[in-house]
Structure 1
Amino acid sequence: MLAKFWNNISNAGIELEHSQSASRYIILTNRFAFISGLISFLVLALLYWSAADQEVKTAWLFILFTGIVFFLVLFINKYGQHELAKWLICWLPAILVIFLSISDKSLSKHISIQDFFSYRFFLMATVIIPLMVFGTSNPLKLIFNLLPSFIGTVFFDYFHRPFGLAFNQLGYNDPNFYILDIMIALAYFGLVGFLLNQVVISEKFEQKMNEQQQALQEKNRELVHMNSFINEQNYEMNAQADRLTESRDALLKASQIIENQKQQLINQNKTLEKQVVDKTKDLSRVNEELIIINSELRQFSHTLSHNLRSPVSTFQGLLNLIDRKNLSQANLELLDYLHDTVRKMHEVFSDMNEMLELRNTLYQSIEEVDLQKLIDELYNIFYAEMQGNNISFKYDFNGQKVLKTNERRLNGILFHLISNSIKFRSECRPPEINISLRKMDGYYSIVIRDNGVGIDLEKYGHKLFYPYQRFHSYKCGKGLGLYLVKLQTESLGGKVMVRSQPDRFTEVEVQFLS
């Protein structure tokens, strides 16, 4: 529960379009704000119990206000004002420390020399906040937000002069006191330099990792494109070979008919020759018609899955241009219905495109698949859902580290099965997902088992592997997961088996050639 609460606090204001570094800055800002708010209210409580007289009323109100502002930073981040949130979290701690120092000295009856150093050290520590939440991408913003810690640390004594609480105003006369200011300034710059160096090293490492990841993604896209081109060429060659075989078989059949009729009906040779010519023409015509029909079917499938998506996207864009302010309530409901219909059409075309791609892909490249890397990638994809729903995720490969198969297909199979296990989890018990692998005689067996809502196989078993079949009306989904798993498994020369009991478990076993 605490981990979930802390995760929600940390991620307030993070959107999908945020980069990794931007998300990290938002998380750090939220955590600094939350911790600073707790510290403010803790100081407020200590002040309330230790000195509850009228003299501390101003300090009490200021600390209360500061603590509230710290917590408001979370809401400021949540509503997208990230720069304002970072500025507040950089300035408020330094202001609060200076205020506490002045309040402490004004209320304390005995002021020691150490009171002039402890708060300075706290001020110096606040330098870490701007470096952590701004980084080095914008030097001007970083320098501006380092000012409160710098001014407060170096000119600490000058803030106390208007209140008669400076070092020499309290009876401490040391002609070399200014040297302390210089030493503290040098220590401040040394600390900033050290921390800045660490931040630069971290950012360079992160940038290098991002560049390597982008390079790998680009290489992967090139490989996918090359694989698609090879598959298309292979498909066309197979189709041409099939047409040649059909033409040859038809010609052989016609030749046999001609030979038989020639032997039996010598006297009708001219008639038979005419019949042979007619049959040859008929066969050619039928063959041409079959070629045309096959081409039209492929073109029709391509049109449904590709060409119609552009008009649908255009129609969706036109709907977005409609001014909702000038529409009546009835027309607004109609417009929302049109938006929903267009979205569903777009999803149907995307589903058809994926199904056609799986059906038309004849060649699957075989490669060595790193199981640990594959599972880590899938876990990262579903990390937020698993953490948010406290899902236990375990796997056991029985010592098997590498599989020789098509990585893209295996990734798709596991993705859909893990997604189904998360989506159809039970609300009555802690969700569990277990993946196991065994190498059998000539094939691999992967079993994905969960303790979710299960499937009534007696009622729905005959519909399991058909598209758009939903077995739980109260759960969202399109009913394509198991169908796509079946297509991808069959493309690897394998098969899928499902075992399940309602409200107990679901176990899906995928077998494919090793």
Structure 2
Amino acid sequence: MSTAAAADEPLPELDLRLTQENLEDLYEHAPCGYCSCLPDGTLVKLNQTLLGWLGYTAPELVARQCLQQLFTVGGRLHYEMYCAPLLLLQNQVRELSYLLRRKDGTTLPVLMSAVLLRDTNGQPLVVRVTLFDITERRKYEQELLRARQHADEQREQLARANEELTRKNEQLSRINADLDSFVYTASHDLKQPIDNMTGLFQELRRTVRFPDAEAVPMLDMFAEALQQILSTIQGLTEVVQLQRQLEQVPTETIELRSFTEEIVRSLQQRLSEPAATFALDFQAAPTVRMTRSSLHSMLYNLLSNSLRYAQPGRPPHVRVSSAHVGNALVLSVQDNGRGIDLVRYEQELFQLFRRFHPEVAGSGMGLYLVNRLVNQAGGRIEVESTVGKGTTFRVFLTTGIPAAATSSGPSNLSA
């Protein structure tokens, strides 16, 4: 049926009983309270709704009490000092909040509106008052107030927690700075005596002959121990120096392919048979933004570890790639080497001086340094590894800058 046709239909006949409302009954049992009072507040008329709210009868109030006497003490003061003068000034007030005192001593929250009527001479004659029960509204307002107070308390607790966290972070920063200074000083002070010992030992081996056949392997073991000490001292110095450099060197946008190829070339000069191969794929994310020295140390350590821990009898193959995952740039270094038993060593993977293949020479500082550099850049590392099959390191960097894939497609490099 169309709208026009519906509009043409006659409306149902109006029940005439609805037009015959009793005005007195409508006043007495209205859904709000009505009362009339003299300009001084003396009550002259109240409807049954208001009397029912208050618990009084009309004779108990009419000509016996004033409107303001129905309010609490605070409400009475407000009425006399604010509401009554305002009525005289502008002949009406709207939606003033008061508490009515019932006969049983309880209170009822209401909103009051009032109109002042005047006689022909302009003199105040009568005040007509309308009162609305706002009990539910008051409960809602109180609930909102409690929720706001709770939110304020939570905000204060959070602010205190943040202050405490800031204080602890500052304390940890000072401790780390002190530790770095101690490590740097200790490694610097130890290096000279160890260098002297190394020189003296080399001179000893050159000039002294030992008749005991067992002396030669012992000398070799001593030389290896000296070299291990030197390597550890050098690693500690490198960690602290690199940390200090990162605090001063700004970040920059680095083209990954050429940067990684340079590292690969430097590693290839040290390779022994069998030859290693490298696959580079930076098509998905050609550039990264971070400090150049930090990226160099991170990639150099991961790539050199891939070669150092190659599986015996299997030519090393290393794949380096990049991708965007959410808001992070992910650098992946995957090898086919010995692998790491993560079930056993996962919690110790990035600890200082921790080594998982004692048969391979190393200082146990590479992964520690990589993890520290990644954390410094605001990133994180994920590791997947299978013993005898290889390891994949994924470095998530939030500083990565998306770039169009133009000139960093897959490439293969061989030693």
When the two structures are superposed, what TM-score results if normalisation uses the length of structure 1?
Answer: 0.40
Query: Which one has the largest radius of gyration?
Result: 2
Higher helix share: 1
Higher strand share: 2
